[in-house]
Structure 1
Amino acid sequence: MHLLNASQLLISGTAGIGMILTQLTSLSFGQLFFLLNLPFYWLAWRTLGPVFTLRTFFSISLLAGLSELMRLFIYMDIDPVFSALLGGMLVGFGLILLFRHNASLGGLNILAVYLERRYGIHASKTTLTGDLLVLLLAVLVVDLSQLAYSLLAFVTLCSVVGRYHRPPEWARVSHQS
């Protein structure tokens, strides 16, 4: 996330909305990311269970905290293409690891895991839809070059998730019943 933030690029879901809101408020990304995810815990608890919810809360808290530390102590001047490609890949692989361990990074990812488990809709389709919605919202506050690089990050993230994410066997079986 810090790679993307350093180039002022966006990513999907509540993280992307948090990145947009950093330009409109005095709050940092870590603060916004943590706050934006609060309403999604109810959905996670009711539909995906307490273990998933607690792991997700830990993941969100860790990302928000590390984002705050990196913002304070690490300065990056990075090429936006490199930032988009590497940032999108790292976020994609991070999401896969979280999904495989019954967790997420909140917001859209909670919805993606729920839809995959309940209806068999691949998580990459949900994240791509969310990415497009974030891009539409970003048109109001982000210049076109940042949007183009952000789109590259979105496509990279979705490509990684689409290529390497496999729902657990029990999720595939429960959908077929």
Structure 2
Amino acid sequence: MKTTHRWLSIVEGCLLVALGIHILNSAGLLISGTAGVSMILLRLTDLSFGTLFFLLNIPFYILAWCTLGRDFTIRTFVSVSLLSALSELMKHYVVLSIHPGLSGALGGLLVGFGLIILFRHNASLGGLNILAVYLERRFSIHASKTTLFADISVLIAAVIFLDLSQLGYSLVAFLLLSSVVGRYHRPPKWAQSSLVDAKAN
């Protein structure tokens, strides 16, 4: 029963993130982390977001396997694969027309709450999410701080691709995502116990 609950929650988290990213993509906006890098690369290649997101995450599985364990890595791999598939489906079957300001707000909130669900069930969406979970588990650095740093880095990289209005609306998404993770995310029991062990050592 516990396993079923965990996997259902992971699916729900991926659905929220996929919808949030689709809303942002529909308005030409960005989000942080590996997803944001994938959105930038969309402007430079013919590959889809789902394909780019999946490929960019492959190197991070090594870090996850070596530092966060097999179970976390497997759940993260499934989450990344599921998000990639959902993104492809939404690209073809979900048509949206939303004001960029509302897109930034809704997209940032949906991605933020989706990430919280995944973090609470010992999973992530790869890339900098893996780094955020590792830093939280090993050094007690809250995940919101890592995501905020990722937000700023992606925003700086996006300056050459987006106009000022798109940058502004993307910043709204970044801030709301970081705010949601900062206010609602609490390290789960598996992370708390690891933090205690790390401090003891």
- TM-score, with normalisation over the residues of structure 1? 0.97
Equivalent residue runs for 1:3-152 within 5 Å: 3-152=23-172
Gaps of at least 5 residues in structure 2 are 1-20
Task: Indicate how the Cα distance of structure 1 residues 111 and 69 shifts in structure 2: closer, same or farther if over 3 A, else same.
Answer: same
CA contact (8 A) 1:22 1:29 kept: yes
Q: Deviations over 1:30-49 (max 9, x none)?
A: 11101111110000000001
**Cα shift at 1:143:** 1.3
CA contact (8 A) 1:96 1:165 kept: yes
| Distance of 1:172 and 1:95 partners within structure 2 | 20
**Cα shift at 1:144:** 1.4
Gaps of at least 5 residues in structure 1 are none
Q: Deviations over 1:1-33 (max 9, x none)?
A: 111111111111110000011011101111110
- TM-score, with normalisation over the residues of structure 2? 0.86
**Cα shift at 1:57:** 0.5
The two structures, once aligned, show a CA RMSD in angstroms of: 1.0
| Distance of 1:166 and 1:10 partners within structure 2 | 25
* Aligned length, in residue pairs: 177
Fraction of identical pairs, as percent: 67
Q: Does 1:164 align with 2:152?
A: no
My pick for the range that moved more, 141-150 or 155-164, is: 141-150
**Cα shift at 1:174:** 3.1
**Cα shift at 1:105:** 0.5
**Cα shift at 1:176:** 3.7
Runs of 4+ in structure 1 off by over 3 angstroms are none
| Distance of 1:120 and 1:163 partners within structure 2 | 16
In structure 2, the residue corresponding to 1:167 is in which secondary structure? Answer: coil
CA contact (8 A) 2:138 2:195 kept: no
Q: Does 1:174 align with 2:174?
A: no
**Cα shift at 1:73:** 1.4
